[in-house]
């Protein structure tokens, strides 16, 4: 079990970020102790890492809220959650290809510029 401070240290993220995720409804399964302090399990840390990863790749809070709610509904929503992540992965692959193409064009332009005086 981890306190919010220990979870934040282990994941190298600010406690304020974890509180924000909780306030936004992304952590509906987090338990609290008798004093109301959040208690994190190892599985919760995986989810926090997942949220950070998905946010860094552009997934919206709203979509993550939907995924968290699906998670709370249980195993019968597992395929829907997988489908959401696969769709997001496909979008990222497309974005990566667009960026790679843009970088190639930029490199060509820079080579041309270097030949000009």
Name 17's Cβ contacts closer than 8 Å, sequence gap at least 6.
Answer: 8, 52
Cβ-based burial of 3 (10 A; exposed 0-12, middle 13-18, buried ≥19)? middle
The pLDDT tens digits of the residues spanning 11-26 come to 999 999 999 999 999 9
Residue where the block lists tokens 């609290």 = 32
Helix (H, G, I), strand (E, B) or coil at 39: strand
pLDDT at 115: 84
The pLDDT tens digits of the residues spanning 51-96 come to 999 999 999 999 999 999 999 999 999 999 999 999 999 999 999 9
Look at residue 117 and tell me whether its pLDDT is greater than 80. no
- Could you state, in order of their start, the residue ranges of all structural domains in the chain? 4-115
Class of domain 4-115: mainly alpha
């Amino acid at each position: 079990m981890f306190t919010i401070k220990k979870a934040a240290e282990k994941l190298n993220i600010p406690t304020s970020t974890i509180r924000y995720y909780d306030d936004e409804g992304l952590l509906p399964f987090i338990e609290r102790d008798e004093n109301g302090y959040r208690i994190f399990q190892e599985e919760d840390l995986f989810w926090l890492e997942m949220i950070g990863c998905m946010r860094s790749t552009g997934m919206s809070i709203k979509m993550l809220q939907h995924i968290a709610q699906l998670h709370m509904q249980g195993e019968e929503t597992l395929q829907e959650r997988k489908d959401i992540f696969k769709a997001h992965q496909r979008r990222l692959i497309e974005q990566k290809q667009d960026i790679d193409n843009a970088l190639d064009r930029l490199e060509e332009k820079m080579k041309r510029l270097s030949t000009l005086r």
